[in-house]
Amino acid sequence: MSTESMSPAEGPLSGYLVVDLSRALAGPHAGMMLADLGARVIKVENPGTGDDTRGWGPPFVGPDDDPQATYFLSCNRNKESIALDLKSDDGRSVLRELIGRADVVIENFRPGVLDRLGFPAAKMHALNPALVILSITGFGHDGPESWRSGYDQILQGEAGLMSLTGSGPDDPQRVGVPIADLLSGMYGAFGTLAALLQRERTGQGQIVRTSLLAALIGVHAFQGTRATVAGETPKAQGNHHPSIAPYGLFHCRQGRVQISVGSEKLWTTFASAFGIDAALPEFATNADRVRNREKVIEEVERVFSDIDAEPLLAKLNEAGIPAGKVRTLDEVYAWEQVRSQGLVIDVDHRILGNVSLPGPPLRFFSTSDTAETTLKAHTAPPLLDQDGEQIRQWLGLAPAGRTGKGASNGAVNGAANPGEEH
């Protein structure tokens, strides 16, 4: 079920074909993760307007007559684009050919939408029994509320994450990135790889399902077991850890730092370095410090109050206390440590020219000589239908009667857009 890419790629998934029918962020992020691993990912978009995120802005960059949304650029690197109207005979014909050759299909339509377009899972598996289908929804594929449209901030609230985030219990806040979308994409990619691995043993594909709701509950971690086991209802409490103290953001002279004193040994070292009596009854154990968190914060900020941030960080590092600053994103992408990890990549965009993008978070090395084998050749997110004619030629199909134009800032209309994001 593999395919040769138009431009030979390295990476663990080199030779695999992914057909990405998804829009917005959850599915596209999963597809981008697979593309980063070397898979050939063909993104299927609505003619004329394309993925919803092509119109999500500002910011837009590039010429006024063909502006590019930075949102779209964030989740579509290393992909090809073909514009297909899935309600037309031509669009369905091309999609059938792609499904027949694919290893993976990604979709994030609401339940039932793909069936109404003529591509239920049973039909896709009839076309290709080895196909792995990744399906992402908002609230799950079944159950009493599976019909609901799923958007990130709605799910951050519904799945309890906002109740844990903010300055206090009366200040629920969303996470600063669409974390439900991103996590469901990550879980989806993880499940897809597991299904491909199982296919090696059975020869059969399967359906992988996840949702924004499932992804957020999947990362409740210790806050979840506080609720299910201890019977507590966790609440937001700002920038301090609910179970460890001192652990969080502390103010110093002309700045702030973050510290993590995660063991009794570290606490003794920290207290000694800054002249705090570690044996005081309210500070004696981590449990004592958590119960007396306000006193701990007051004492730590007292000893920090006459030290500027940079000298304080140096002193903390010298003492072996985990510590750090709060960086802005421009500082992050200029940070040499970030660049040394390949977390900024340069790509050549057909309209924008050379641009820098956040890079993939995985690296690979040979076990024989530790030489890095990470995929280094990256391509820019495609223009709408940029690769349509080449893909049709590869499939042995006639050219389209008409091809999509460059990205539009308008919303996708009801005729072209078969359903909500999840």
Distances (CA, A) of 294 to 168, 237, 380: 14, 11, 49
Q: Which tokens go with 47? A: 């003619």
Residue 28 amino acid letter = P
Per the listing, tokens 């027949």 go with 100
CB atoms within 10 A of CB 302: 12
Per the listing, tokens 């019977």 go with 231
Spatial distance between the Cα atoms of 200 and 251, rounded to a whole number of angstroms: 54
Per the listing, tokens 């030979």 go with 8
For the chain, what is the radius of gyration of the CA atoms? 25
Spatial distance between the Cα atoms of 382 and 73, rounded to a whole number of angstroms: 9
Q: At what angle do helices 264-274 and 309-319 cross, to 10 degrees?
A: 130
**Number of residues that make up the chain:** 422
β-bridge mates for residue 45, sequence order: 83
CB 84 within 8 A of CB 387: no
Catalytic: which of 152, 181, 385, 387?
181
Nearest to 386 by CA among 44, 102, 18: 44
Is 181 one of the annotated active-site residues of the chain? yes
Query: Which residues, 6 or more positions from 298, have their beta carbon under 8 angstroms from its beta carbon?
Result: none
Nearest to 38 by CA among 408, 375, 275: 375
Which region holds residue 298: left if phi is over 0, alpha if psi is between -120 and 50, else beta?
alpha
CB atoms within 10 A of CB 285: 12
What stretch of H or E contains 213?
Answer: helix 212-218
Spatial distance between the Cα atoms of 22 and 35, rounded to a whole number of angstroms: 14
Spatial distance between the Cα atoms of 385 and 83, rounded to a whole number of angstroms: 5
SS3 label, residue 262: coil
Spatial distance between the Cα atoms of 31 and 349, rounded to a whole number of angstroms: 19
| Catalytic residue set | 181
